[in-house]
Amino acid sequence: MHVVKVSDFLDMKGVLEPHHALLRKGLLHRWTPGMSVIFVSHQWLSSGHPDPQGRHAAVLRSTLQGVLDGSLQVEMDVAYDANVPLDDAVEYARNQVLSGYIFLDWFAIPQITARAEGVNEESTKSDAALAVQSIPFYVEASTIFLALVPEVKHKDTGRYCNYTSWLSRGWCRAELWCHLLSSKPFTQVIVVFSSKESQFMYPRDWQENTIDTGDFTVESDRDVVRRLGEVAVEHKIQNLSSAGPENLYRFFLARRSRMLGQPSLTRDMDDFLFHFKFPDLESAISAKSSMNGVQCATLSGDVKMLRCLAQKKADLNANVLGLEELGFSQDWSLLMVALESRQSAEMIRTLLDLGADVHASSFEGTPVPAFVKNSQHIEELLRSGADFHKPGMPLGLTPLAKAAGMSNAETVSALLRLRCDPNPPLCGLGVTPMISGVALARGNSSSVQIVHALLEGRADPNVVSRQSGMWLTMVAVGRAKVALLGRQTCTPQTRSAATLPGSTPLLTAAAIGSEELVELLLRYGAYPQPNDRGETCEFLAEANGHYNVLPSLRTFPV
């Protein structure tokens, strides 16, 4: 395993040189235990070179320099629960960069082009091909995992390469999951969107992109990755079983089948209590802490066990606690978590039949119907009298608005067929389905289809966000902080609050750097108007380092 010093990497210019060139220059170092290594995961931008124009390399250099000099902070995703403590993670990441080395396949592995077509065929099992299959070791030996995903068009195919496409790639997922399932103390993932925007990965992103469902150039690689995943998951569960924490052990055990693309297991009572480490049935039923019996049964998809626990008077309407770091808010009900985690229609039906409250809402007012992930979920909730049209207060999001940002095109289309309003009256936070669909597009493989479906359903491409009630205070505070402290020193949540009044879908698309969404919105008549702070599409794109969208914005006819 060869690595390059961060300081040497920062001195490099232009397009990255391959392994043999850096080896000749004496810039490669053999890995030894104790090294601080940053594993850089990325998508190749051409068939012959990972970064033929040097654009990813330039962003990586700028990002590392910003972390070193303090001008760039790794931030929380705007969807992250604000109560999740990440200060220690930020400081840890910075310290690793200060004394760090970089692992990037192009210069760390000899003849990395062997990773292309045929890497697993007997005739091409060179040292390079074998090195590629050793990637799990490289990930395990690294202390930081960094996904380098600025939006760039692929040189050969013309397709957009970005965070969403990176998440779809089978080998990128393999690298990601090897890191997440490792026994390392730091398993956060740093996502680099641009030279000015780096965030910790929102945990629902990795949970939605399981090990075995990625895209592979060589289909036989899928079996390799699947076997790798099985070993990694078992290793993770064993480590958590012996070292804890207990709630994470139970979570990963419950989600094991889902992670590996396998059918859900049905256990008898003794087997369930033994594997989930409940001393007795009463403990499984009465526990108020994270991952109690009904939560374990629900997240593992075990309908039979859920019924057994409900018959013993287990509470199906208590909030699910202690899973914030995994993307489940502490004010969500069990039914919300079941929907969010894509449980089967049978599981949703069982929860409803056993008395789960279809009319519940979160602290901020997000209603149960807002959590649906497919048309079967919608059918089950409708059968129990769920209201898919009413916004949840005080947040003011309709089910369609949340689904547009956190679900998929199938669900959004089904809600539109129910005549859910794509242009609901503005209230609360003032986020419409269009703005939600664009704002949370990164990492959602059907985001473009979602926005297109909304536009075809007569959603207004020029809808302007307006707040009311308690949210007026929030945006006022956000604007004051940005004005006094500057954009770059404020959190993503504060910046979002400041820019939200007067925001439009096009402004939002420019701010996240999605060239594809910018062009789609322009085709449907979106107009580049500034927000209430006077910030234009060009300003927001440049402020976040997304220079790739500027040419599209400049083609707008005046």
What DSSP letter does each residue of 223-279 carry, written as one string? HHHHHHHHHHHHHHHHHHHHH--HHHHHHHHHHHHHHTT-PPP---HHHHHHHTT-S
- Judge whether 1 and 30 are in contact, CB under 8 Å: yes
The pair of structure tokens assigned to 312 is: 């013993």
Helix (H) or strand (E) holding 107: helix 105-108
Please choose, from the candidates 179, 196, 197, 7, the residue with its C-alpha nearest in 3D space to the C-alpha of residue 97.
Answer: 7
**Which of 182, 298, 174, 162 has its CA nearest to residue 236?**
182
Distance CA 67, CA 69 (A): 6
Q: Which residues pair with 148 in a beta bridge?
A: 42, 192
Q: Tell me the C-alpha to C-alpha distance, in Å, between residue 2 and each of 105, 110, 193, 197, 266.
A: 9, 10, 26, 28, 46
Q: Quick one: which of 79, 6, 113 has its CA closest to 493?
A: 79
Instruction: List, by residue range, all CATH 1.25.40.20 domains of the chain.
Output: 382-460
| Alpha-carbon span 190 to 90, nearest angstrom | 10
Q: What is the pLDDT of residue 132?
A: 56
Question: In the prediction, which pLDDT does 41 show?
Answer: 95
Chain centroid to CA 220: how far? Answer: 26
Can you tell me the distance from the alpha carbon of 364 to that of 264, in angstroms, rounded to the nearest whole number? Answer: 32
- For residue 74, the number of C-alpha atoms closer than 13 Å in the C-beta half-sphere is 30
CA–CA separation, 215 vs 225, rounded Å? 11
Does residue 320 contact residue 334 with C-beta atoms inside 8 Å? yes
Q: How far is CA 216 from the centre of its chain?
A: 20
Instruction: Tell me what pLDDT residue 97 has.
Output: 80
pLDDT at 123: 36
Backbone angle region of 258, left / alpha / beta, with phi > 0 → left and psi within -120 to 50 → alpha: alpha
User: What architecture does CATH give domain 382-460?
Assistant: Alpha Horseshoe (1.25)
- The angle formed by the CA atoms of residues 478, 479 and 485, to the nearest 5 degrees, is 85
**Angle formed by the axes of helices 246-259 and 221-243, to 10°?**
160
Tokens 């400049």 — which residue? 554
Amino acid in position 207:
Q
* Cα distance between residue 189 and residue 80, in whole Å: 13
Which letter does DSSP use for residue 35 in this model? -
d(CA 478, CA 475): 5
CA distance to 194, 488, 537, 549, 555, per residue, from 542 (Å): 10, 12, 9, 9, 17
Beta strand 100-103 with 36-42 is: parallel
What long-range pairs does 327-330 form, CB within 8 A, spacing at least 24?
327/80, 327/81, 327/202, 327/203, 327/204, 327/207, 329/81, 329/362, 330/81, 330/83
Write out the two tokens for 272.
């369930």
Q: How many CA atoms lie within 13 A of 421 on its CB side?
A: 11
Q: What angle do CA 304, 308, 309 make, to 5 degrees?
A: 120
Burial group, residue 331, by CB count within 10 angstroms (0-12, 13-18, 19+): middle
- Return per-residue pLDDT of the chain as tens, 558 residues: 899 999 999 999 999 998 889 999 999 999 999 999 999 999 999 988 999 999 999 999 999 999 888 878 888 766 555 555 566 777 777 777 878 999 998 988 875 544 444 444 333 334 444 555 677 788 989 999 999 999 999 999 999 999 999 999 998 999 999 999 998 888 889 999 999 999 999 998 999 999 888 998 888 888 888 888 899 999 999 999 999 899 999 999 999 999 998 999 999 999 999 999 999 999 999 887 789 999 999 999 999 999 999 999 999 999 998 899 899 999 999 999 999 999 999 999 999 999 999 999 999 999 999 999 999 999 999 999 999 999 999 999 999 999 999 999 999 999 999 999 999 999 999 999 999 999 999 999 999 999 999 999 999 999 999 999 999 999 999 999 988 988 878 877 888 889 999 999 999 999 999 999 999 999 999 999 999 999 999 999 999 999 999 999 987 654
- Of 147, 233, 239, 151, the C-alpha closest to 188 is 147
Closest-CA residue to 325 (of 513, 77, 107, 115): 77
User: Sheet harboring 100-103: ordered strands across?
Assistant: 29-30, 2-5, 100-103, 36-42, 144-148, 189-194, 197-200, 75-76
